[in-house]
Chain A
Amino acid sequence: AQRVTQPEKLLSVFKGAPVELKCNYSYSGSPELFWYVQYSRQRLQLLLRHISRESIKGFTADLNKGETSFHLKKPFAQEEDSAMYYCALIGYGQNFVFGPGTRLSVLP
């Protein structure tokens, strides 16, 4: 079965602190994984994808196949990072499977 879990519904950190948003998946084979973000009053948008191995807005995510994880990290959180974050994968039938989301709140 294809599934994405994000164990934290809400994560609160202080500005300047490191942040890690957890994502675990179940998928047989090599998954295509993504992080999407939804800022207040904005559309859901792609933050990063594992295949391009890029850093966007200071965020990085590493695919760990052994732990079936794709955690999103940033060394120093900023207030503008406050948003809803979704981890997602592409399933066997080219469908998308999203996790339940984690709301990140960066406190001043």
Chain B
Amino acid sequence: EAQVTQNPRYLITVTGKKLTVTCSQNMNHEYMSWYRQDPGLGLRQIYYSMNVEVTDKGDVPEGYKVSRKEKRNFPLILESPSPNQTSLYFCASSLFGGTGLNYEQYFGPGTRLTVT
């Protein structure tokens, strides 16, 4: 089944303890992206990647890192989490380029992160 998977789905952690949220897709998509969803603010893009070893900052990259060593995986790293990073995080992937018909994003189920 074509899908985007994220792990873990729920995570409670403490300030300063490094964590990684994994994201994997099995659709051979070039484009992958991370978002955070906060009430009243909608989805805000954290980082995106147009291909292996190519990553770019979105609107809210501060406090986050990403890597794209393989096409299928795009982990999100919080080196020193803080309470203001408590949020619902979504990973997404899509084909890339062309007329825009390839820009449909497929979203993961979300990871709810709480930083105390």
Residues of A at under 8 Å CB distance from B? 6, 9, 32, 34, 36, 43-46, 49, 51-52, 86, 88, 90, 93-101
Contacts and interface: CB of A to CB of B under 8 A. Distances in A.
A43 B4 CA distance: 10
Nearest to B48: A95
A95 B103 CA distance: 11
A88 B96 CA distance: 16
Q: Which of B58, B103, B108 has the most CB of A within 10 A?
A: B103
A46 B41 CA distance: 19
Contacts of A98: 35, 42-45
A96 B42 CA distance: 12
Contacts of A101: 42-43
Contacts of B50: 94
Interface size class on chain B is 20 to 34
B73 interface: no
B45 A97 contact: yes
Contacts of B108: 43
Nearest to B40: A100
Contacts, number: 61
A93 B61 CA distance: 15
A43 B106 CA distance: 9
Given A51-B101, A100-B41, A95 B56 contact: yes
Contact of B59 (A6, A32, A34, A97): A97
B84 interface: no
A76 to B, nearest CB: 26
B47 to A, nearest CB: 9
10 contacts: A6-B42, A51-B100, A52-B101, A94-B31, A94-B56, A94-B96, A95-B58, A96-B58, A97-B45, A98-B43
A97 B42 CA distance: 10
Given A90-B100, A95-B48, A45 B107 contact: yes
Contacts of A100: 40-42
Q: Which of B50, B100, B108 has the most CB of A within 10 A?
A: B100
